Amino acid sequence: MSNLKPILAIIVPCYNEELCVVSTVERLLEVKADLVHKNKISEDSYIYLVDDGSKDDTWKLISEMHNKFNDVKGLKFIRNFGNQKALIAGYECVRNLGCDCAVSIDADLQQDECAIERFIDKYLQGADIVSGIRNSRKTDTLFKKTTAILFYKLMNILGAKIPMNHSDFRLVSKRALDIMELYPEKYLFLRGFFNEVGLKTEYVTFDVKARMAGESKFNFLKLMGLALNGITSFSVVPLRIISVLGFIMAFVSFIIGAETVVEKIFFHNTPNGWATNIILLCFFGGIQICCLGIIGEYVGQVFREVKSRPRYIKEIELK
């Protein structure tokens, strides 16, 4: 890195955030001014808002702020593509616009914006990726807390080493963004990707606040989609488990089959085991359907990638 101060781009995905977006941008401009004042980042740093096809006045407010402040830029999707796509679009666009590092943060400022300074400090010390780790999950519902813990545990067992309580609040360097270009997959799972590339990574813990205004834009189905995409795009262990399970089941079936034949031929007392039949039928049936489901998820992943549709479609971009 040269002696020049780095240009920081702060990426904010927004979906129906008319209640938050203005105060969030004002707060982030304060954070920027403070960091510029402390000589940590360049005056040319900016905020980049990605409107993920909002149906409310979010985009109108973003355009107004763009007209008012020249360090507020943004992009609007033609429709809702989801938070991951909004983040990816943000990373791609700020890379094209020019920046030395980029921080992504939620529009409701649930993540502590004051931690950005610590992100920058780590970056200035040479880190390429600085990941935000939640201190606690106090603001989450019990359901979200439990499913999140299960997800991270499962991901780690399956071989995708993602730290617990990881979030999409992170800093990435220009170098990491350049590497992202080499990953053409459409459904890139960012938390897995940034952990996998092997760049120098540092961690910063932060406190999670309650949502500033409005409601969470994530429902159960969206979260489940994110989790399944994370697993199927970063691990093939479930497929391997199925193969092993298949072998074990074939072996057990063979033994049971052999035993039945022996009973029939030598002892002539073919059992009247109705219950055993039903139990075995349900057991094997259940396992088979479950395995088919897992294979189906991977086939779906291949299907979506092979179609190679665009990740997102821009409607307008304000540079």
The verdict on 82 binding ligand UDP (CB under 6 A) reads yes
Q: How far is the CA of 191 from the CAs of 124, 167, 242, in angstroms?
A: 22, 7, 26
Least Å from the CB of residue 216 to Mg ion: 6
Ranges within 204-263 binding ligand UDP (CB under 6 A): 216-218
Q: Which amino acid is present at 178?
A: D
Q: Which amino acid is present at 267?
A: F
Cβ-based neighbour number of residue 230 at 10 Å: 23
Q: Which x/- pattern, by CB under 5 A, does the window 67-106 give for Mg ion?
A: ---------------------------------------x
In angstroms, the CA 318 to CA 46 distance is 12
In angstroms, the CA 183 to CA 129 distance is 17
Cβ-based neighbour number of residue 284 at 10 Å: 13
Q: Which residues contact 248 (CB under 8 A, 6 or more apart)?
A: none
Q: Which CB sits closer to Mg ion, 6 or 90?
A: 90
The verdict on 13 binding ligand UDP (CB under 6 A) reads yes
Q: Please pick, from the candidates 52, 108, 112, 113, the single residue that binds Mg ion as defined by CB under 5 A.
A: 108
The verdict on 110 binding Mg ion (CB under 5 A) reads yes
In angstroms, the CA 22 to CA 62 distance is 8
Least Å from the CB of residue 186 to ligand UDP: 16
Options 82-90, 114-122, 185-193, 289-297: segment touching ligand UDP (CB under 6 A): 82-90
Q: Please pick, from the candidates 45, 110, 232, 233, the single residue that binds ligand UDP as defined by CB under 6 A.
A: 110
Binding residues for ligand UDP (CB under 6 A): 13-15, 17, 52, 80, 82-83, 86, 106-108, 110, 216-218
